[in-house]
Amino acid sequence: MQLGRDEPFSLFIPAHRKISSRLIDIFLGMRTYEDLLSVAAYCRDRVNPNMFIYALSVALLHRPDTKDLPIPSLSEIFPDKYIGGGFLSRARIEAEIVPTGSRVPIEIPRDYTASDLDEEHRVAYWREDIGINLHHWHWHLVYPFEGDIRIVQKDRRGELFYYMHQQIMARYNCERLCNRLGRVKRFINWREPIPEAYFPKLDSIVAGRTWPARPSGATLQDINRPADQVNFDIQDLERWRDRIFEGIHAGSVVGQRGERIPLTEKDGIDILGNIMEASILSPNPGFYGDLHNLGHVAISYCHDPDHRYLERFGIMGDSATAMRDPVFYRWHAFVDDVFQEYKQTLPEYTESQLDFPGVEISSIGLTTNQQRNVLNTYWTQSTLDLSRGLDFTQRGTVLAKFTHLNHADFSYRIVVNNRNNTPQRGTVRIFIGPKEDERGLPFTFRQQKNLMMEMDKFTVSLRPGENTINRNSTESSVTIPYERTFRNLEQGRPLGGEGLESFNFCGCGWPHHMLLPKGTKAGYPMDLFVMVSNYELDAVQQEEPTGCRDAVSFCGLKDRKYPDARPMGYPFDRQPRPRAETLPQFLTGNMAITEISVKFMDVVIPRGRSGSIGNTLTLS
């Protein structure tokens, strides 16, 4: 109860993390479900609401006796984190005046935080997408910073922190290129002004205050806010950064007893991820500090660094809203650059490490109900029920209608020739990436590899001879279906068993409606890359997983090891071997590329009954 009920709560603030960690431990420590229910009911009306929801959600996800309990989407509990206050006021009026059966959805315009006079607003539809922000919040539920070591210490957790954010950066950079914007410039000089402004237009229902804005030209300053128990200098961030770089180039980091911990080829990225994120798994938090989290804090408090104006933090201080801000991507461009610095110290993959002897890809392509190798994107309108998160005099459904990017379904067709005399098992790895930079010049492999977006990964059995593999886009190992992003917990909920466990855990994953970049009206050229790697070298020995298997590339498997022995991002996670200057020169026999095009239509097309599933596009 150290944090007031109307105070803001942030996972990035160390004191808040410790308090929430204690609450998580209390919830996890309840011996029975009835005890948990009792203590949760007691806490609900006494502790900070944002912290309560976070701690209870983490506990429900990790307690064996609560796996059957549905976890509501945060957009239903706190719609004020995603929808502007003016629209919530209209929803309140709608609920008080209009009978339940006659209510009309409140329409949220696509452009309400800025106009195109701000060039960064060209990609606001992507940054402010509710599904993308829900993914970021839910990922941090599955992978909490602090708490019982049993829920924090998951297999390759630090590496997954690196890879999930690296893929966000690849997708955002591609989105920028589709909208005639340059790639993100990393935020490396923390003493220069931040040119990007952001005015979130959000109100906090809990605090009854507006989220602070950041005008153009804001600068970071030393933070000294006793009320939040946070006090650090920009110089501290610089010192931690330099120590991490020293460890990368020394090939080892310093442990708490002064010992050197080697950054091995296998485990180095995992150790580095734990140091950078500054979870409780960091081998030496006193020496390497809290760089990633306090970077978020410094940016989120740049408008009131010493609390003289009694202002709360900006949206960069909340994992549920941070991805709305353009500076999130500049900060994570720096974070990813640290990881890439380490990756450059590793040996390049040799041809033998990439090849799959006797297995060759003959052809690859995309199939849609339109032109071959042309993917179609467009706008779709969806609704979100606000009634769970708003206290009205009359209950009943109160809907908000918002517009978001979507795409028509497609499938991959891959022809693989197995020249071996015996059946082989392989892992199909599918990526797409932009072909040209902001100047229209072709990318070198060193540039393009960090922009390759993972689309799918799955296992196949290859009989001797020719094999034709067909795979639907809806089966992606990266995404969760539309219904799991914006789901009604009262509809389609299984009664029990494995199906119900999947219903809950599967809330983690990239939203399927954002699987593709927007593209352009003329068609944005991209490379489709397909690789079949040797499953014997990919396999992880463990029991067959139960429950959720969607979005394993970003979220892993519940209570299991990460289901791929290769480094995350393989084969694009390292520098190329000599003379592989372009993507075609990088290929081995078990790889193939072809040019595809992503074509955008600036129209709103109704969504099918099953969300993105079954989205067919008919052009007259």
Amino acid at 199: F
Q: List all residues 6 or more positions away from 314 whose beta carbon is below 8 Å from its beta carbon.
A: 198, 200, 211, 212, 213, 214, 299, 300, 301, 302, 303, 325
Tell me the C-alpha distance between 115 and 113, whole Å: 7
CA distance 41 to 30: 13
CA-wise closest residue to 301 among 223, 211, 215: 223
Note the pLDDT of residue 81: 84
**Phi then psi dihedrals of residue 491, to 5 deg:** -110, 135
Cis-peptide into 70, omega within 30 deg: no
Q: Which position among 94, 120, 175, 277 bears the catalytic label? A: 277
On whether the CB atoms of residues 576 and 445 are closer than 8 A, the answer is yes
Paired tokens of 410: 């497609």
Active site residue 277: yes
Residue 611 is predicted with a pLDDT of: 41
Residue 102 is predicted with a pLDDT of 67
pLDDT of residue 498: 47
Q: Do the beta carbons of residue 379 and residue 129 sit within 8 Å?
A: no
Length of the chain: 620
Of 13, 38, 17, which is closest to residue 27 (Cα–Cα)? 38
* Joined tokens for residue 84: 């502007």
pLDDT score of 501: 42
Q: What is the pLDDT of residue 190?
A: 97
The closest of 229, 176, 193 to 18, measured between CA atoms, is 229
DSSP-assigned letter for residue 258: S
What pLDDT score does 489 carry?
A: 47
* pLDDT at 205 (0 to 100): 64
d(CA 280, CA 146): 6
- Concatenated DSSP letters of 534-594: EHHHH---SPPP-S--TTHHHH--TTS--S--SPTTTTSSSPPPTT--SHHHH--TTEEEE
C-alpha–C-alpha distance, residues 83 and 392, integer Å: 17
Q: So what's the pLDDT on residue 499? A: 46
The per-residue pLDDT for 487 is 55
Going by C-alpha positions, the residue among 322, 377, 380 that lies closest to residue 515 is 377
Please state, rounded to an integer, the average pLDDT across all residues of the chain: 89
pLDDT beneath 50, residues of the chain: 392-393, 489-490, 492-505, 609-613, 618-620
